[in-house]
A and B are shown apart, each in its own frame.
Chain A
């Protein structure tokens, strides 16, 4: 009963592909060095030579945005991937073990889950100090619990299927059943989760960098760029508009893609995912 992806989702997928390509090729396609200062050309508006204008130090905003895409996307994708692995393993083991083990494993998840993401991330950042590595760890630590809950629910359902019973009857051990019989059936829900968790990680990172608690210059993500633009909001709004637009469009594309994927894998369940 799989329906093809709607046009909006396919468009989003292409957009994301394009952005990822730009990020990968940033050193070759950006018109200027991202840190090249030109004090004669500060705070210019968008023009032909500087598509998105220049910042207070005369750096080309378009080039900085391309390099920012590397940081923002990399953090979003990698933290989500790690969280997905941890969450899947945890949720699957918890559901398959059942009973008391399941109860306590989920109790722990519930405690982490009940605290707001941003608060938890900031507290972790306080402990670890600013920097890319701390952001990685903080984002992964809040993200995996969502995955664990989803996967657990799914595995609870799958493990009652007859073919799993059949595998057990044939003498397959728990590890083999989880790996060979259950995991392949999770790919739909994992793909959907991936496309909803990545924008959420990008959002957290950019929010954090925007309020000055995330990635600090010279390394800059879209959030850092937005923060720099915020300092000059009143007279040079282009400095904040372009990074904001990049963040917004990317999150939007992931959401459209996620909606499409969810309906694709389960047309009956058109529900809003909590992120």
Chain B
């Protein structure tokens, strides 16, 4: 298990390196720098600025310099927020985004799993159809539409919740719901179809023949086998939630990484763009590892395949 974990982390390093290299190259290739002004700056000032940010060195040297510092946790100075380091900005904003993301995962699972179980257990009834319909609505509702609707109703109309900022538990509710609700639709539909498949298996018939309550059959016998595909989509889904938070953080003016990322893109603040992208890459790699570990714990078949080394990467 520990060896496997180590192997996975080692496999993740090239991915992160590729992302770092690509974003670095991309940012150097783009026409138009962060210091382009309408007014032409005197050449001495341009030279000074370029020296300060090492822009006068050859690209390869810049790259190695960047990587060397990145490994030590220094992602360089922000171009736009003068006097602040990208690492400092990330250290400040990442916890906010993480909190939001985790709350959204809770919303996704908290809505999606019960809905999926109920609609599978009550197959082809009104409840089932209502759940499926709601799930499809959720999938089709863009998070920014959901966000604006929530603000309109709960803030502007009923004055129940604050429409923006990040100053306490009350401020988490709407963003987390807007972010997580759509994905709950996916989870519900996926879980339903898996449960229906499992419920037609022989061992379920045996369980029913033993006279077990339907509730026990569904929740104890069928659920554990139907839930593994749900876990395997949790990796990409977490990535989706984290990135989806760009929009939600923008709408609710939350001081998280996504909000800074949008501003950085508008300002062409390259070190900040690269920093945020790197953090996302690392996050995705670790989310996938975590999901795979969870998968192994739940499904013994996967564990067997792992030890025999059949699955790479």
Interface 9-mer from A94-102, A109-117, A175-183? A109-117
Asked if B161 is at the interface of the complex by the 8 Å CB criterion, the answer is no
| Residues 228 to 275 of chain A near chain B (Cβ within 8 Å) | 230, 233-234, 237, 240, 244, 247-248, 251-252, 255-256, 259, 270-272, 274
Separation in Å of the A124 CB from the closest CB of chain B? Answer: 9
* A contacts, CB < 8 Å to B: 111, 114-119, 122-123, 125-127, 129, 199, 203, 206-207, 210-213, 226, 230, 233-234, 237, 240, 244, 247-248, 251-252, 255-256, 259, 270-272, 274
Q: Across the two chains, which residue of chain A brings its CB closest to B190? A: A272
Residues of A within 8 A of B29 (CB): 127
List chain B positions with a Cβ less than 8 A from chain A: 15, 18-19, 23, 26-27, 29-32, 136-137, 139-145, 148-149, 151-152, 156, 186, 189-190, 193, 196, 233, 236, 239-240, 242-244, 246-247, 250-251, 261-262, 265-266, 268, 273, 277, 280-281, 284, 288
* Cα-based distance from A126 to B270 in the complex (angstroms): 10
Contact indicator A272/B15 (Cβ below 8 Å): no
- Indicate whether A116 sits within 8 Å of B136 (C-beta atoms), given known contacts A126-B265, A126-B273: no
Residues of B within 8 A of A272 (CB): 186, 189-190, 193
Contact A127 B148 (CB under 8 A): no
- By a CB distance below 8 angstroms, the chain A residues around B280 are 115-116, 119
User: A203 to B239, alpha carbons, bound, how many Å?
Assistant: 17
Complex Cα spacing A274 to B186, Å = 8
Beyond A116-B284, A123-B23, A252-B136, whether A207 also contacts B148 by CB under 8 A is no
* Interface majority SS (helix, strand, loop, mixed), chain A: helix
Say yes or no: B140 contacts A248, CB within 8 Å. Answer: yes
Closest chain B CB from A167 CB (angstroms): 33
- In contact, B277 and A114 (Cβ under 8 angstroms): no
Partner of A118, one of B30, B149, B244: B244
A237–B148 Cα gap in the complex (Å)? 9
Residues of B within 8 A of A237 (CB): 152, 156
A210 to B193, CA, bound (A): 34
In the complex, the answer to whether A255 meets B265 with C-beta atoms within 8 Å is no
A206 contacts which chain B residues (CB < 8 A)? 142, 144
B144 touching A210, Cβ below 8 Å: yes
Residues of A within 8 A of B244 (CB): 118
Q: A123-B26, A230-B148, A234-B156 are in contact. Are A118 and B243 (CB under 8 A)?
A: yes
Can you identify 10 A-B contacts, CB atoms within 8 angstroms? A111-B18, A115-B284, A122-B246, A123-B26, A127-B26, A127-B30, A211-B246, A233-B156, A255-B136, A274-B186
- B251: which A residues are within 8 A, CB to CB? 230
A212 touches B266 (CB 8 A): yes
**Chain A residue nearest to B27 in the complex (CB):** A126
Q: Is the CB of A114 within 8 A of B15?
A: yes
The 10 closest A-B pairs by CB, nearest first: A252-B140, A116-B243, A272-B189, A244-B145, A251-B140, A272-B190, A116-B239, A118-B243, A271-B193, A210-B144
Measured between C-beta atoms, what is the minimum distance from B28 to chain A in Å?
Answer: 11
Cα distance A64–B163 in the bound complex, in angstroms: 28
Judging by beta carbons under 8 Å apart, are A207 and B142 in contact?
yes
Most chain B CB inside 10 Å of its own CB: which residue of A123, A248, A272: A272
Report Cα–Cα, A125/B18, bound state, in Å.
19
Contact A274 B139 (CB under 8 A): no
Contacts of B268 in A (CB 8 A): 126
**Complex-state Cα separation, A264 to B5, whole angstroms:** 43
Q: Which residues of B contact A212 (CB under 8 A)?
A: 262, 266
* Chain B residues within 8 Å of A114, by CB: 15, 236, 239, 284, 288
Task: Supply 9 further A-B pairs (C-beta < 8 A) apart from A122-B261, A126-B27, A233-B151.
Answer: A118-B244, A119-B243, A119-B277, A126-B30, A206-B144, A211-B250, A233-B148, A252-B136, A259-B136
Whether B136 lies near A211 (C-beta < 8 A) is no
By the criterion CB–CB under 8 Å, are B239 and A252 in contact? no
Q: CA of A127 to CA of B29 in the docked complex: distance in angstroms?
A: 8
A234 and B151 alpha carbons, distance in the complex (Å): 9
Given contacts A114-B284, A126-B265, A274-B233, contact A233 B152 (CB under 8 A): yes
Contact for A210 among B31, B32, B247, B261, CB less than 8 A? B247
CB–CB A207/B144 < 8 A:
yes
In the bound assembly, the distance between CA atoms of A123 and B273 in angstroms comes to 9
Residues of B within 8 Å of A252, CB to CB, are: 136-137, 140
CA distance A76 to B196 in the complex (A): 33
Closest CB-CB distance, B115 to chain A, in whole Å? Answer: 13
A226 to B147 CA separation, bound complex (whole angstroms):
12
By the criterion CB–CB under 8 Å, are B15 and A251 in contact?
no
Most A CB contacts (10 A, CB to CB) among B142, B152, B189 go to: B142
Q: Chain A residues with Cβ under 8 A from B32's Cβ?
A: 129
Residues of B contacting A122 in the complex (Cβ-Cβ under 8 angstroms): 246, 261, 265
Shortest beta-carbon distance from A265 to chain B in Å: 16
Q: Which residues of B contact A256 (CB under 8 A)?
A: 136
